[in-house]
Amino acid sequence: MKKHMCLVRCCCQFVPPNVSENLAKKGVEEARVSIQQSKQIRARRALRSVSFNAFNLEQAVGEANRKVYDCKNTWEQRLEPIARDEGSDHTDDKTVNIVYEYGGIVRDYFRNVLGRNSIDNRGMDLVLNVHFGVDFMNAFWDGDEMTFGDGDGEVFSNFANSLDVVAHELAHGVTQFTANLEYQSQSGALNEHFSDVFGTAISQYANGQTAGDADWLIGDEIMGPALYGEALRSMKAPGTAYNNELLGVDPQPAHMKDYYAGPEDNQGVHINSGIPNRAFYLAAMEMGTDKATLVWYEALQKLWPTANFNDAVTVIVELARQLTRDGKIPLGSAQIIRAAFRDVGLPSTP
């Protein structure tokens, strides 16, 4: 299957819309403001994407430099002067320093472990905006840069202080420049899934963890005092990440029999990602996170914008066979991966 000749940027946000909406219904004013600002961000991105669609994969090679901007609690990105550039000294702002460090961890993981030269594989600079808005309760990748809110300090803490968040959102960029998976329905759920895969793989790598050591939680690092101990997703046990008055009940299914077929969340992009997430967890527990991530990364480059779950299973298993042949993963890996997908009801049609 051919990929589109041009890239379509999506505004991929870390906190799912159903979570933000539940918070707003419970009277969390910061959540209501964050929802309204998110709508405006998507509208601005849609206008900017008209010119972006002429942008193709043949870009100039860059140097993969980190560029951190301080939005100073305004709703503007890339606010000058730059807060910290590649190779510059620490600043007095801890958030600037930590997002600079985390951006480097993500960049170095893709380069040193997976052989990828930054987000676009051509040395794209990592643009990281911090202190966006007032108590903004989200973080997002919008096609060419990352932006982080500070959270309200009660429900959510600063999003830039989480390696999970930084890795997950920058990974949306990797997907954009490879399979360019459309951000709706199963292709969108795969988009979210691959970001969770790379996010947890990078966190485990940075913390020196194995699959057996990791908690497999996504978003637990940003939970404030009101939600301490909760998370946004569990790759190990989708549907168990949270259950409380503020967030509601985690709606993620762990099996195709519970597939969400409704219209919310772009037809369930953050919801149905739990199904392939569980399959990845099962595979990683058997073959190791590093080996499983390699298979998923190679498969991502063979997928296409409208690929569905069954397409992904076929490509991932085929890449496992090829990598086994090339001696990069152990014999039996393809069988492990097939079994993992079978345990979540794939391949099948909802």
C-alpha closest to that of 218 among 112, 152, 139, 283: 139
| Burial tier of 305 (Cβ tally within 10 Å: 0-12, 13-18, 19+) | middle
DSSP letter assigned to residue 59: P
Residue 301 CA, distance from chain mean position: 16
Q: Is 307 helix (H, G, I), strand (E, B) or coil?
A: coil
Q: What b/e string do you get for 113-125 counting C-beta neighbours within 10 Å, with b at 16 or more? A: ebebbbbbbbbbb
- Candidates 169, 182, 192, 230; catalytic one: 169
CB 221 within 8 A of CB 186: no
Amino acid present at 315:
V
Catalytic annotation present for 21: no
What is the Cα–Cα distance from 222 to 237, expressed in whole angstroms? 19
Q: Is 148 helix (H, G, I), strand (E, B) or coil?
A: strand
- Candidates 131, 145, 270, 298; catalytic one: 270
User: Token pair of 330, please?
Assistant: 């152990």
Residue 107 CA, distance from chain mean position: 14
Catalytic annotation present for 286: no
Amino acid present at 271:
I
User: Token pair of 152, please?
Assistant: 């309200």
C-alpha closest to that of 219 among 268, 169, 181: 169
What is the Cα–Cα distance from 66 to 85, expressed in whole angstroms? 6
Catalytic (active-site) positions: 169, 270
